[in-house]
Amino acid sequence: MKSQKLTHAGCVVFQEKGKRKTYLIVESSSGEHWILPKGHIEKGETPRKAALRELREEAGVVGKVIQKGPTQSYPMKNEEITVQYYIVQYIKTTTADEDRALQWVSQKKALEILSFEEGKQALRDAAQTIRRTG
């Protein structure tokens, strides 16, 4: 498989409440979909920094990268995008730059709510990694 240039970075964010883990999903900018936080990597920015910036801007959440997650490529509108996801543990809430709804839900519920198969697959992959390392 040809290596794609990374265009976007995103997060699969989890928090632990006792033995239960919940995952963060956010409303898309259009308000029509539920997605994982992600966005464009800006010039001079590392994918890791972009992922954490997008998380703060979209959800008002500060997190710590636990490890690199899955990379996905797929067509979106008129371009081919390649997203590097990071597995991120929730640290605290801060002020979001964007006014988006967000939900903390179980993995099962997130898989029901997420609008796109790419997001569902990233969540499945990350949850499996979290269980293995957790």
Taken in order of first residue, the domains within the chain and their CATH numbers are: 8-133 (3.90.79.10)
Global confidence as pTM: 0.92
Q: What is the band of 16 on the pLDDT scale with cuts at 50, 70, 90?
A: very high
pLDDT tens across 65-108, in order? 999 999 999 887 888 999 999 999 999 999 999 999 999 999 99
Q: List, in sequence order, every beta strand (DSSP E) within 19-60.
A: 20-27, 34-35, 38-40
Distance CA 18, CA 34 (A): 26
Count other Cβ atoms within 10 Å, centred on residue 118.
Answer: 21
Q: Are 56 and 24 in contact (CB under 8 A)?
A: no
Q: Is the pLDDT of residue 110 over 60?
A: yes
